[in-house]
Amino acid sequence: MRQPHEVFLDYLRRRNLNMTPQRAVIVETFLATEGHFSCEELCTMVRKADAAIGQATVYRTLKLLVDSGLAEPLLAGEGPVLYEHSYGHGHHDHLVCLNCNGKIEIVDQVIEDQQEQLAREHGFTLTRHSMILYGLCPRCQNSDHRKD
């Protein structure tokens, strides 16, 4: 399997864009960060490596990462858009706890197949999808630490 770094370089080449020191730092930081984070948060982490990198550059580069297929936005609603890297993770959906905000990755082939089937019935060609299940995780069901 091709390394994410390679994937990004190929993408830049295809788009006639250049690798730059800033982009290198941002991509490296992005790949080294697990979990879900906003662009603002990525920005903060990038600046630990190089404080001179502008916020706009991080936004612009994250957009390239999404376009290249390495990053995926998680549209959960409130606040800023969260991202995660899709490289080496495979596709997955999310189970989100409404209380502690914890996120579990889930995959279900039955659902994936059914989604394709549904799209076909309506003549759609599917590109991607987003499925988020909201509820209470086991811990929060039994704890008194409810937000409400």
Partner DNA sequence: TTTTATGCAAAACTTTTGCAGCGGG
Partner DNA sequence: CCCGCTGCAAAAGTTTTGCATAAAA
Question: Which of 80, 104, 143, 146 is close enough to bind its own copies by CB under 8 A?
Answer: 104
Q: Locate tokens 């209380």: which residue?
A: 99
Contact 129, 94 (CB under 8 A): no
Enumerate long-range contacts of 123-132, CB under 8 Å, 24 or more apart.
130/74, 130/75, 130/93, 131/93, 131/94, 132/74, 132/75, 132/76, 132/93, 132/94, 132/95, 132/96
- Is 101 a residue that touches its own copies (CB under 8 A)? no
Phi, psi torsion values for 83, nearest 5 degrees? -125, 160
Two structure tokens written together for 80? 């800023």
Question: Which of 11, 59, 93, 112 is close enough to bind DNA by CB under 7 A?
Answer: 59
Q: What amino acid is encoded at 99 in this protein?
A: N
Question: Which of 52, 121, 127, 142 is close enough to bind DNA by CB under 7 A?
Answer: 52
Q: Locate tokens 């549904």: which residue?
A: 118
Residue 126 binding result from its own copies, DNA, none, given CB thresholds of 5 to 8 Å by partner type: its own copies
* Calpha distance 19→114 (Å, rounded): 40
Q: Which residues, numbered 55-94, are part of the site for its own copies (CB under 8 A)?
A: 73, 75-77, 81
Question: Which of 10, 118, 143, 146 is close enough to bind its own copies by CB under 8 A?
Answer: 118
Question: Which of 138, 144, 147, 148 is close enough to bind its own copies by CB under 8 A?
Answer: 138
Residues binding its own copies (CB under 8 A): 73, 75-77, 81, 95, 97-98, 104, 106, 108, 110-111, 114-115, 118-119, 122-138, 141
Residues binding DNA (CB under 7 A): 12, 16-18, 20-23, 38-40, 52-57, 59-61, 63, 79-81
